[in-house]
Amino acid sequence: MILNTPAKEIFKNNKTNCTQNHTKDEIIQEEDLSSEGAAARRINSVCARAASTMISTNFKFNFNDPHLDDPNISIQSVRSVTFEQWCKKKEIMQRLKDKLIQDEKMKILEQKKMKNDFNETKQFNNWKCFKEWCKTKDRQARTKKKKQKKQKLEKKLFKLQKQENASRGFREWLKESLKESKRAQHTKKRKKPKKSTEEEEAQKKIQNSICYKEWKMKKIREERKEKREKKIKSQHDKEQLMFLKQQRRLINRAGDVMLAYSLNKSIRDLENIRRRPKSARNGLRR
């Protein structure tokens, strides 16, 4: 026997009943798609429930009955359904069930794919930003080092120029003072050539000695500064040479692990030597 109600209407009625009980949000909301097995199990259980509800709701009434929406249906209307009608209905329900399961699976897989694509793009963008940040940081460090080197060179040049200007000024001052003293002597000799007393000679000697002492003190200071700078440079060069020699010896003797330990030890020894007083250093050298 052929059913009075067509298959399309049944599908629509079943779909509306399914959507009332089990919506898309209930299937997908708060879904952890980390494991595919769990997601598939959940899809199957939801779709099976939906299909069972459709079957139960549609088999409460007779398909030949015009009052389909009436809930108060008698048992006779259920008994009047034939075996062929029941089989056809079951086949239709099975197809609908399979179709719903496949649709839900496809939707969840698409959502999972979209989520994975979004995560991949996010990771790529984060990696790109981190790479750019590293490049900018390296650039800043290089510029900072260049600026520091430039400032050090400028300071050194400024000090050297200052020293040269000071020494030049002192020489000029000495020349001028000697010229003035000679002129004064010459004028005094012209005015009073016969009255050259011992007091004038003593004053000249005192003035010359004062000028000489001042010049000598300045010279000594300059020499001390030069010696200190040379000493610091020589000490630094010696430490570097010692460090390089020890490094070469250690490289020839031991492997990579012992090399790192021995280098750290040599650096500590050098730091201890620097901290010790001069007397202790001299004793160690002997």
Residues 6+ apart with CB under 8 A from 188: 200
Total domain count, the chain: 2
Give the pLDDT confidence score for residue 72 in this predicted structure: 47
Does residue 52 lie within any of the structural domains? Answer: yes
Residue corresponding to tokens 């991949």: 120
Give the pLDDT confidence score for residue 79 in this predicted structure: 60
Residues 218 and 216: their CA atoms lie apart, in Å, by 5
Same domain? 125 vs 20? yes
Does residue 265 lie within any of the structural domains? Answer: yes
Whether residue 96 contacts residue 11, with contact meaning beta carbons closer than 8 Å, is answered with yes
Of 133, 148, 177, the residue that ends a domain is 133
Same domain? 119 vs 233? no
Give the pLDDT confidence score for residue 268 in this predicted structure: 57
Of 133, 151, 172, the residue that ends a domain is 133
Does residue 161 lie within any of the structural domains? Answer: no
Instruction: Tell me the CA distances in angstroms from 266 to 33, 82, 162, 209, 276, one per residue in order.
Output: 57, 100, 39, 53, 16
Same domain? 13 vs 128? yes
Does residue 169 lie within any of the structural domains? Answer: no
Same domain? 12 vs 128? yes
If phi > 0 it is left, if psi is from -120 to 50 it is alpha, else beta; for residue 30 that is left
Does residue 20 lie within any of the structural domains? Answer: yes
Phi, psi of 62 (to 5 degrees): -85, 140
- Orientation angle between helical segments 7-21 and 36-58, nearest 10 degrees: 120
| pLDDT one digit per residue (tens) for the chain, 286 residues | 334 444 444 444 444 444 444 444 444 444 444 445 555 566 666 555 555 554 444 444 344 444 444 444 444 555 666 778 888 888 888 888 888 888 888 988 999 999 999 999 999 999 999 999 999 999 999 999 999 999 999 999 998 988 888 888 888 888 888 888 888 887 877 765 555 577 778 888 888 888 888 888 888 888 888 888 888 878 777 777 787 777 777 766 544 444 444 555 555 565 555 555 555 555 544 4
Does residue 47 lie within any of the structural domains? Answer: yes
Whether residue 266 contacts residue 246, with contact meaning beta carbons closer than 8 Å, is answered with yes
Instruction: Tell me the CA distances in angstroms from 199 to 68, 178, 196, 257, one per residue in order.
Output: 147, 19, 8, 82
Give the pLDDT confidence score for residue 278 in this predicted structure: 54
Does residue 139 lie within any of the structural domains? Answer: no
Does residue 107 lie within any of the structural domains? Answer: yes
Of 109, 133, 157, the residue that ends a domain is 133
Residues 6+ apart with CB under 8 A from 27: 42, 43, 46, 104, 108
pTM of the model: 0.30
Which structural domain range is residue 22 located in?
A: 7-133
Give the pLDDT confidence score for residue 260 in this predicted structure: 46
